[in-house]
Amino acid sequence: MSRIPVPRSGRPVAVLALAAGLLGLLAAPPGAPTPSPRTSPVAAVAENTATVFYWTKTKNWTAHHLHYAPDGGSWTTVPGVAMEPACTDWVKKTVSLGTAAGLQATFNNGSGTWDNNGGRNYALGTGNITVKDGVVAHSDPCADTTPSPAAGATVYYSTEALGWSTANIHYQPAGGAWTAVPGVGMQAACAGWWKREIDLGTAASLRAAFNNGNGTWDNNGGSDYTIGTGVSTVRNRVVTAHAADPCAATPPDTQAPTAPAGVTAAADGVSVLLSWDPATDDRGVTKYQVTRTGGSGGTVVTDVASTVYSDTGLAERTAYTYTVRAVDAAGNVSAASAPATATTGDRPATPATGKPLGTDPRKDPIYFVLTARFNDGDPSNDRGGSQHVKSGNAANDDPMFRGDFKGLIQKLDYVKGLGFSAIWVTPVVLNRSDYDYHGYHGWDFYKVDPRLESAGASYQDLIDAAHAKGMKIYQDVVYNHSSRWGARGLFVPTVYGVRDSQWSWYYDEKQPGFEYDGLTIDAKTGKSYYNGDLWSTAEPAGNTCVNWGKPTGGKSAEGYTVYNCQWPSPTSGMFPKELYHQCWIGNWEGEDSRSCWLHEDLADFNTENPTVQNYLIGAYDKYIDMGVDGFRVDTAVHIPRTTWNRRFLPAIQERVTQRHGAEAAKNFFVFGEVAAFVNDKWNRGSVNHSAQFYTWKERKEYDADDAKAALEMYDYEQQQGTGNQPTSTNAFLDGNSYHTPDHSRFSGMNVIDMRMHMNFGDAQNAFSNGKDSDDSYNDATYNVVYVDSHDYGPNKSSERYAGGTDAWAENMSLMWTFRGIPTLYYGSEIEFQKGKKIDCGPTCPLADTGRAYFGDHVAGSVTATDFSQVSSASGAVATTLQQPLVRHVQRLNQIRRAIPALQTGQYSTEGVTGGMAFKRRYTSGSTDSFALVTVSGGASFTGVPNGTYTDAVTGDVRTVTGGTLSVAAPGKGNLRVYVLNGPGRIGTAGPYLK
């Protein structure tokens, strides 16, 4: 949703919390006892201590702190005491316990990332104690460590792209101290390369940064470089371990590659998909030449970077013949392959108007746009609203309603060129509030907001245009609340506050025959299309508002007297209780969060009332009939699961089945926002308010009355607790085998992966937290995964993500290969508005926020020939398409689209070592796709099927005969995807995938 307010009342929280915004994290329970001072002398005794060893290998932390409290004593000040290096992969800290028999402990990186044992803290004793991946033991892991023989590192550093005239290496052996700035000088090795040999002693690696001696540094984007023993090269921020000497003389290459084998051609309509086995070469193949003959086009030769080529736009019912040649870096060309022939069929019809595409939603990466802020195709429907001047938008000539469906239609090729095949649009219904451009203040749920539509660019036109390009439309929907002005067709109060001489500029008097539509200006006043008919100079007949017209004692920002009933509220008596709830939320994890208003301008529906249910079901049936492909459900947690499972979700399924068939209903994608801002598996222990809870059907029968049923469910599930909730293996491999998932207990609602979202300040944390929850979802492969959105950044940050380009690339590499559906908030592909406050309401210009207008960056023309493929672009959009993260996400989409395991596969980390490494598989009919993935770091995979594995990123081929495949670290943001019997390298090398 657009806005989640701060709770109105305090409540106890447990375990660890930082003032910087991490909820659910308080180091010691309130009221912990403090030991009394001793008043009598005691005999000297040996100091009572604990030496705590902490395992670091699975953390990507640069510092480690121990935050602790001796039993019965006080906690240290956050973040605690710094730990010191102990031995390889271990840090330690010895602490005095006084007379305590143990301590409570947590660990953190000093920057807000915590290990608090899943919310329980660690209970430790005395002596030597180890904490390794959540397991506590009593030992000294460094006691038997035998010093390794002295090791050395030879580091080559390339300044070819930097233009430096000298180079220094500033380094720190693992467990040792940094050299003095600027480090030690490197020796010129050959053109563009500098060299330094370093004695590491017993260390197995070093951290390093490079500089030119005059203040210009390369510190790997703030992460430094990790370099091992032996020869390593560092070039364009990529570390290559065990590398060849880059300065060794290279003889000229005169040997041509082998001819490609195994060429196959398969026609699909008027397209032909060509694939072949990788050719071999003594130096490496750089590209392939595909030659096509047949049809009226004559001979066509196309350069291809991978071993897969899709030839599109061909003639109907025509035979085409293809041969393939391999080319190496020296230009040597192989002999032609054996020919392969395919005959095209009929040109497929474009998708029918008003019919969803109906394919598995896991195959479609999602691009999320605030329609009103994306691209303006029709300035005539722009509207600033009542806060246009006050907000500062007027000074920027930037009305809040600026983007529209026409602008989005114009840029569908931009979105497709990025590789996305689904677009999530903000709510489309007619809104009514002071700042309603984002769509979450619905007033007429049966009408599309005219500020978004134009002639030839209606909502139906957008759906049809997207479908014609093979792209889905997911519509954001709101069942929980209307605007504070009510919902037209259900209940709309006829009058609110006093319109006296102070407020006449703002509150228009009622105009007979005038009806608000958000767009039309009231002809009588000539200035308002917004408030229109809501206020009065005298108390109206039939008034139900308590204390109407009496001053509250408060003043507006302008200094005007504020009267009771000036604006709607749940306790004012303005709304009938059978249709709207009558209270404010007090406990955000309690049952009142489902039955009270969450904000003053969001009137909370009584969704357990059949009249309200029928109103909403009828409204959203309209958009199902128009052919949308799914619903993103706003504020889903604020409606009981019983109501979703009994009423709204079955109604969606029934309507889609009725209008579009059973297969479309099966793949109509519903994903809910179940907001939880803690890093625990269950939201502060409240199963009823945890995301995974909403993916399950009920486990028992409840009262036929929906309001009573909601209370019964809440009580029953709270008593069951977190330890007695259903679990699932639907996301997990059985060893290396895919198994048919069991969706018999699926509710019909999937969810946004809030836990990963909250931890994406660090990709490793997001990965660890994500997989920790996966057994409690019905099927986590359907989780929608994003880094930031129109509401929050990671760790409940109120700013758009600003972790840096490398970190963005790493986050994307994980999202596009791990289970779930990758989703990108508009503009993140160029780090748009990074670090900017996401939402400040009308108190600052939108141009200064994370919801700024994006159209200037996509101005010009762009044509996409396929997903991730742009044939032409001009103007500002051409510049945008050259940005590093754009190129990164384009290729990630290519790779994901070509490998079924990355789309719909189950996963496992069994037999896998490495920080972010896993294996995935999907098996169905003739499709058997098995992939080994590692992101940023190295990994080892044991017990995997023997066979030939090809990396989709580099084209590297490995033959596994003993069930083991080891992969060197590709570098931050990069990844390796080794596919059993895979298609070869997919796409071309970019700034990260190389």
- CA dist., res. 676 & res. 799, Å (int): 17
* CB neighbours of residue 85 within 10 Å: 15
pLDDT above 70: residue 302:
yes
**Strand-by-strand arrangement of the 84-87 sheet:** 84-87, 90-96, 49-55, 127-132, 135-137
Banded model confidence at residue 532, pLDDT cuts 50, 70, 90: very low
* Residues 776-806: tens digit of each pLDDT: 999 999 999 999 999 999 998 999 999 999 9
Residue type present at position 912: V
pTM over 0.85? The answer is no
- CA dist., res. 279 & res. 274, Å (int): 15
Q: Per DSSP, which regions of 12-80 are E strands?
A: 49-55, 65-70
Three-class DSSP labels, 753-819: CHHHHHCCCCHHHHHHHHHHHHHHCCCHHHCEECCCCCCCEHHHECECCCCCHHHHHHHHHHHCCCC
Parallel, antiparallel, or unpaired: how do β-strands 300-304 and 285-293 relate?
antiparallel
C-alpha 869: how far from chain center:
23
406 vs 387, residue with greater confidence? 406
Apex 480 CA angle, 478 and 485, nearest 5: 85
pLDDT on residue 529: 56
- CA dist., res. 693 & res. 684, Å (int): 13
pLDDT on residue 509: 66
Residue type present at position 280: T
pLDDT on residue 7: 28
Tokens, residue 328: 């190496």
Which residue is associated with the tokens 């945890």? 690
Average pLDDT of the segment spanning 646-660: 94
Q: What is the CA radius of gyration of the chain?
A: 31
| CA within 13 Å, CB half, 144 | 2
Average pLDDT of the segment spanning 520-534: 60
- CA dist., res. 960 & res. 41, Å (int): 70
Of 632, 611, 691, 624, the residue nearest 651 (C-alpha): 624
Average pLDDT of the segment spanning 515-520: 84
pLDDT above 80: residue 89:
yes
DSSP secondary structure string, 919-957? EEEEEETTEEEEEEEEESS-EEEESPPPEEEEETTT--E
pLDDT above 50: residue 36:
no
What separation, in Å, do the N-terminal and C-terminal C-alpha atoms of the chain show? 38
Dihedral Cα 771, 776, 778, 779, nearest 10 deg: 0
Banded model confidence at residue 135, pLDDT cuts 50, 70, 90: confident
Apex 621 CA angle, 618 and 625, nearest 5: 145
Three-class DSSP labels, 672-702: ECCCCCCCCCCHHHCHHHCHHHHHECCCCCC
Residue 848's Cβ-count burial label (10 Å; 0-12, 13-18, 19+) is middle
Handedness of CA 467, 780, 741, 723 (dihedral sign): negative
Mapping DSSP to helix (H, G, I), strand (E, B) and coil, where does residue 36 land? coil
- CA dist., res. 846 & res. 858, Å (int): 18
Banded model confidence at residue 163, pLDDT cuts 50, 70, 90: confident
pLDDT above 80: residue 528:
no
Which residue is associated with the tokens 């896991």? 362
Phi, psi of 763 (to 5 degrees): -60, -40
* Residues 724-770: tens digit of each pLDDT: 999 999 999 999 999 999 999 999 999 999 999 999 999 999 999 99
Tokens, residue 10: 């305090």
Cβ(304)–Cβ(869) below 8 Å: no
Cβ(722)–Cβ(120) below 8 Å: no
* CB neighbours of residue 121 within 10 Å: 21
Q: Count H helices, E strands: the chain?
A: 15, 52
* Residues 834-889: tens digit of each pLDDT: 999 999 999 999 999 999 999 999 999 999 999 999 999 999 999 999 999 999 99
- CA dist., res. 847 & res. 753, Å (int): 29
Average pLDDT of the segment spanning 175-187: 90
- Angle, helices 649-660 vs 610-626, to 10°: value is 30
Q: Per DSSP, which regions of 469-560 are E strands?
A: 472-478, 481-483, 551-555
* CB neighbours of residue 583 within 10 Å: 12
787 vs 310, residue with greater confidence? 787
Average pLDDT of the segment spanning 945-955: 98
DSSP secondary structure string, 654-673? HHHHHHH-HHHHHT-EEEE-
Average pLDDT of the segment spanning 520-543: 67
586 vs 741, residue with greater confidence? 741
Of 807, 770, 823, the residue nearest 630 (C-alpha): 823
pLDDT on residue 44: 41
* Residues 816-844: tens digit of each pLDDT: 999 999 999 999 999 999 999 999 999 99
Residues 6 or more apart in contact with residue 298 via CB below 8 angstroms:
none
Average pLDDT of the segment spanning 573-588: 92
Cβ(289)–Cβ(302) below 8 Å: yes
* CB neighbours of residue 399 within 10 Å: 22
Q: Per DSSP, which regions of 512-560 are E strands?
A: 551-555
Of 185, 184, 168, 154, the residue nearest 247 (C-alpha): 154
Residues 6 or more apart in contact with residue 900 via CB below 8 angstroms:
922, 927, 929
pLDDT on residue 352: 59
Cβ(480)–Cβ(604) below 8 Å: yes
Of 21, 11, 26, the residue nearest 116 (C-alpha): 26
